[in-house]
Amino acid sequence: MFHFKHFSVRQSASAMKVGTDAMILGALIDSSKKKRGLDIGAGTGVLSLMVAQLNPTIQIDAVEIDELAAEECALNFKNSSWLDRLSVFQEDFDNFNKENKYDLIFSNPPYYATTNLNEDSRKAQARHEDSLPSSVILKKVNSLLSVEGEFWVIIPFSEQDKWISLGASNNLFVKTIYSIKGKSNKEVNRVVLCFNRSVILHEENEMVVRKLDNSYSDEYIELTKEFHSIDLRK
């Protein structure tokens, strides 16, 4: 069980546990004025719960292909304060169809290369791009995103150019880039991208998760202060 400030997440059945990537993405997503959200590859449902906490009116659909993870996601939704605004669908995202469009879509997708696949098939499905390629995600997002909508995703820095190029070919253009360093003396290893229908790049940012002494940076603590149930300064 992972305890947040305003909710808890069961994760014993899910192949992927709550980690720093989810914390960063969930805290960075701007859901203000958004009405309908879609969580791709929801896993435990942590991103949906984080967004629902900050936006008191948004309705969110979560899609998760793994049956055990989807069941655990549904339980986490049920045990939260926002059950009436959260729904989970156990199906392949490529087959997911809704008549109405979403003005907010977000995902912490599988992104590892297909070589050396994890021998645990459920972990491989959750972690490796072969189970849900970026090309499939972006094509589907293009069909589900509203005209004024935004799509948020966290990926390895090495994948940034590919995602930006594939996004443009699907009428999705980068509005904001957050470059993430795991430690201040390390290279950027993750990026959070916000896509919309505009061709204008509005903002580029960089943040560090940990200082040289391995303590959390002030910016990371400030970013996640509405979620962590413990004092990260200790």
Q: Residue 14: what pLDDT?
A: 74
The whole-number average pLDDT for the span 118-130 is 47
**28 occurs within a structural domain:** yes
Top pLDDT among 37 and 100 is at 37
What is the tally of structural domains in the chain? 1
The pLDDT confidence band at residue 130, using thresholds 50, 70 and 90, is low
The pLDDT confidence band at residue 2, using thresholds 50, 70 and 90, is confident
CA distances, 64 to each of 161, 183, 229 (Å): 26, 31, 26
Q: Residue 131: what pLDDT?
A: 63
In the chain, % of residues over pLDDT 70 = 91
**228 occurs within a structural domain:** no
**171 occurs within a structural domain:** yes
pTM: 0.90
The pLDDT confidence band at residue 201, using thresholds 50, 70 and 90, is confident
Q: Residue 100: what pLDDT?
A: 85
Domain of 161 in residue numbering reads as 2-223
Whole-angstrom distance, CA of residue 89 vs CA of residue 67:
10
**58 occurs within a structural domain:** yes
C-alpha angle 31-14-52 in degrees, rounded to nearest 5: 20
**133 occurs within a structural domain:** yes
**Most confident segment among 107-111, 223-227, 228-232:** 223-227
CA distances, 186 to each of 15, 157, 209, 232 (Å): 28, 13, 11, 21
The pLDDT confidence band at residue 233, using thresholds 50, 70 and 90, is confident
Q: Residue 132: what pLDDT?
A: 83
pLDDT at 26 over 90: yes
Which long-range CB contacts under 8 A does 18-21 form with residues at least 24 apart?
18/44, 18/46, 20/182, 20/209, 21/108, 21/154, 21/190
Give me the phi and psi of 8, to 5 degrees please: -125, 155
Q: Residue 111: what pLDDT?
A: 57
Measured between its terminal Cα atoms, the distance across the chain in Å is 21
What's the CATH number where 43 sits? 3.40.50.150
Max CA distance (Å), the chain:
50
The three-state secondary structure class of 62 is: strand
Torsional sign, CA 184, 187, 190, 191: positive
**70 occurs within a structural domain:** yes
**233 occurs within a structural domain:** no
Mean pLDDT across the chain: 89
**230 occurs within a structural domain:** no
Give the closest residue to 191 by CA, choosing from 229, 227, 153, 218.
153
